[in-house]
Amino acid sequence: MSSSDPKTRPKPGPWPPAPDSAPLPPSTWAKRTGFRPKFSGETNASDSGQITLTPKTREPDNQPDLEAGRTRITPPPALPLPPAAQPVANGESEKVVPAAAGSNKDQSVKRRKESDKGLGLNGNGNGNGNGNGNRSAPVGQPDPNQHPPRRAARNEDVVVIDGVDGDGFVARHSHMKYNLRDTPGLVPIGLYGFQHYLSILGSLILIPLVIVPAMGGDHEDTSRVVSTVLFVSGVTTLLHTSFGSRLPLIQGPSFVYLAPALAIINSPEFQGFNGNNFKHIMKQLQGAIIIASVFQALLGYSGLMSLLLRFINPVVVAPTIAAVGLSFYSYGFPLVGSCLEIGVLQIVLVISFSLYLRKISVFGHRIFLIYAVPLGLAITWAAAFLLTEAGAYSYKGCDVNVPASNIISEHCRAHVARMKHCRVDTSHALKSSPWFRFPYPLQWGTPVFHWKMALVMCVVSIISSVDSVGSYHASSLLVAARPPTPGVLTRGIGLEGVSSVLAGLWGTGTGSTTLTENVHTIAVTKMGNRRAIEVGACVLIVLSLVGKVGGFIASIPEVMVAALLCFMWGMLAALGLSNLRYSEAGSSRNIIIVGLSLFFSLSIPAYFQQYGISPNTNLSVPSYFQPYIVASHGPVRSKYGGVNYVMNTLLSSNMVIAFLFAVILDNTVPGGRLERGVYEWSEPEAARRDPDVAKDYELPFRVGKVFRWVKWVGL
C-alpha cells in the first residue's frame, strides 16, 4: 500500500485484483491458477478457519488478550486498508504493510516478493511482519500522533494474527515463556523438561503395551521393550535437536507405524506358531523397519524430500494424520467394555482434566491440562487397586493365574475375563524386573528381512515424513524466528530415518519419528527451548537403565491402556485436522477434499478387511485385531503371493488411502495458494543473511560448513 489517500489508490486491475502493482510472474502451477475465494464471495474464512472481519476505524490496540489466548490488533484509523491488502491469518499470502514515506512501485513489488517467501505477518513465526527486521514498523504499531492505545472491547471486531485456540497456539513473542534459543536457568530447564515428557507419557509407553501382547510376549517382554523405547527415544531426541531440524521435538514410537506393525504381527505365516513367538515376530519387524528407515534416510539426505514438499500441504497433512487416529476405533472402546467401571472412569477423568478443568492454574501452571494423562492414570489405578483389595473381583474357587484353557468350572469360566481385565495384580512384571538393565542392539536376535514386509514399511515411512512436515511447520511458528528452510526440513527427515534404523537395531517394534502430540505440548506448556528437551531426553536414558521403571509401566492394566488410547487417538485425529488452520477451512474445495479423503479412508479399508470373512468364521485372533489379518483373505488374489500381501495390507490401511486421495485431489483440483494453505518455507539465501534464523537451525560444532555445498542438508 503506497498511500492512504483514496485518490491515489491503484485502480482495480484484471481478475483477481492485484495488491499494489502488476502481479509477479507465476512461478508454479498453483500460482497460475490464481483462484482466491476471499474475492469470489465463496468464503472469507482465514487460513486458521476463523472469519477475518474488516476492522472498523478506531484507535490502535496491539495488547494480547491473555484470557482469549490470541493477539488482538486493531489498525490505526489513518491507515485504511484496500481490499487487496486485507490482513490474513498466517502470512501465506499478502501481508499488512504500513505506509512509508517515499514508497514507490519497486518497493511495493519488493514487499510482495518478501510476502511470497513467507517473511510477513506470521510466515516468520514472530507475528510482527518485520521479516528480516528491515521493515519500517511492525503491524498494528500505533502512530505517535494518535491517541494512546486502549484495550479493545471483547465484542469489537478484531483481526486475529494467528487464529488459534486459547490453549497456546499463538504468536510466540506474546505467549511463549521460553523460545528456541533462550537460556533459562537450570531449575526451569529441569522442571519444564520433566513436565514436557510427562505430558506426552501416553505417546511414549502405550505402543509397547499394545504390540508386545499381540506378539505373544509376556509381561517381562513388555517391560524390556518399554525400557528399550525409553532409551532409543532419549538418544534419537538428542540426535534430532543437535543434527536434525534442531526444533524442540521429541522422537519416539509413532502411531503411524502401529497399524502396519499389527498387520505384520497377524500375518498368516505367524498364526500357526505354538508357544512364545515374540522374538521371532520381533526379528521380522526389525528387518522391515531397518529397510524402511534406510529408505527414509535416503529420501531426506538425497534431496528427494524437497521435491515431495511441493505436493505436501495442510489439506494433505490434515486428513492423513486424522485417519491414523480414527483407524483404531475397533481397538478402543471394545476393550474398555471388558471392565466398564475402570475404563469409563479413566476416560471421564482424562476428559474432565483436559477440558473442564483445563483453565485452573496452580503456581502459574495449568496442572490438569498438562498432566491430564498421568493424573487420570494414577487416580484410576488407585481406584482399581482399592476394588481389587476389597475383593470386588475375587470369586470363590477361581484363580486368575490359571490359564483359561485349564479352567474346568463353568462358574470360573464366566468370570475369568472380568478377573483378567479388572484386577491390578495379574501382572508380575514389577516383581520380576531387575533393578538395572542396559538395552543393547540386536537383543532379540539377528533381524530377518522379507521384501514384502519391508515394502509395506517403506510406504509407511513416507506417511511418517508427511506427519513430520506438518509438525516442523507448526512448531517453528511457535518457537523459532521463521519456518525452516527446505534444506533443514530434508535433513530432519533424513535424521528421522537414521533414528528409525536405531529403533530397528534395538528392537522397539516400531519406527522412530516426531511425535505429533509434541506440538500441542509445546503450546500448552509454553516451553520451546531445546535445552529443556535435551535434559528430558537424558532423564529418559537414565530411567531406561532402571529395569523397575519398565516393569512398573508394563504392569498397567490392559483396560486402562485401552481407555488412555481412546483419548490419545482422538486427540491425534484432532491434531491432524488442526493443520487446516493454515488453509481456507471454509472453502468448499477443501471441505470436499478433506471429507472425501476421510470417508474413503474408512470405507475402502473396511471393504478389504471384511472381504472373504463370513459371519460364522471362527478367527483365532481377538475381534479388535481382525482388521489387521487382511493379508490372508483380501480381494487382491493374483498368482504372486508377495504382491497379494503388499496390496491387501496397504489398501486396508486407513492412512494410506487418506494420503492417496488427499495428495491427488489437492494437487489436481485448481486452487490458489491462500486457499490451499501452501506451507511457506524460508528461503536459504534469506536465512543465511538473517543471524536469528542461522542460529536457530544451523548445525553445531561448525558441522554445517562441511555441508554448505549440499543445499538440501545445510541451511
Averaged pLDDT for residues 325-346: 88
Would you give the end-to-end CA distance of the chain in angstroms? 32
Q: Is the pLDDT of residue 616 over 70?
A: no
Minimum mean pLDDT among 35-44, 138-147, 219-228, 382-391: which range? 35-44
Residues ≥6 apart with Cβ < 8 Å to 585: 45, 47, 48, 49, 591
Q: Do 55 and 140 touch, CB atoms closer than 8 A?
A: no
- 407 falls in which pLDDT band (50, 70, 90)? low
* Highest averaged pLDDT of the listed ranges 51-55, 75-79, 417-421: 417-421
pLDDT exceeds 70 at position 690: yes
Q: Is the pLDDT of residue 459 over 70?
A: yes
| pLDDT band, residue 706 (cuts 50/70/90) | low
| pLDDT (mean) for 449-468 | 93
Give per-residue pLDDT as tens, 510-525: 999 999 888 888 888 8
pLDDT one-digit tens code per residue, 547-600: 999 998 888 888 898 999 999 999 999 999 999 999 998 899 999 999 999 999
pTM comes to 0.74
Q: Let me know: does 397 contact 195? Beta carbons within 8 Å.
A: no
Strand pairing category for 64-65 and 70-73? antiparallel
Rounded CA gap, 126 and 132, in Å?
Answer: 11
Model pLDDT, residue 224:
93
The pLDDT > 70 percentage for the chain reads 70
**Does pLDDT of 354 surpass 80?**
yes
Mean pLDDT of 390-404: 72
* Residue 586: predicted pLDDT: 87
pLDDT score, position 335: 86
Q: What are the tens digits of pLDDT across the range 57-105? A: 444 444 444 333 344 444 444 444 444 444 444 434 444 444 444 444 4
Q: Helices in 558-640 by DSSP H: which ranges?
A: 558-577, 588-610
Report which of residues 657 and 214 the model is more confident about.
657
Q: Collapse the DSSP code of 516 into the 3-class scheme (helix H, G, I; strand E, B; otherwise coil) and give the result.
A: coil
Q: Which residues contact 307 (CB under 8 A, 6 or more apart)?
A: none
Mean pLDDT of 326-333: 87
Q: For residue 710, is pLDDT > 80? A: no
Are the beta carbons of 84 and 19 closer than 8 angstroms?
A: yes
Q: Virtual CA dihedral for 93, 39, 591, 158, nearest 10 degrees?
A: 70
The pLDDT value given to residue 687:
82
**pLDDT in the model for residue 351:** 93
Ramachandran angles phi, psi of 509, nearest 5°: 95, -20
- Using DSSP bridges, classify how beta strands 251-253 and 512-514 pair: parallel, antiparallel or unpaired: antiparallel
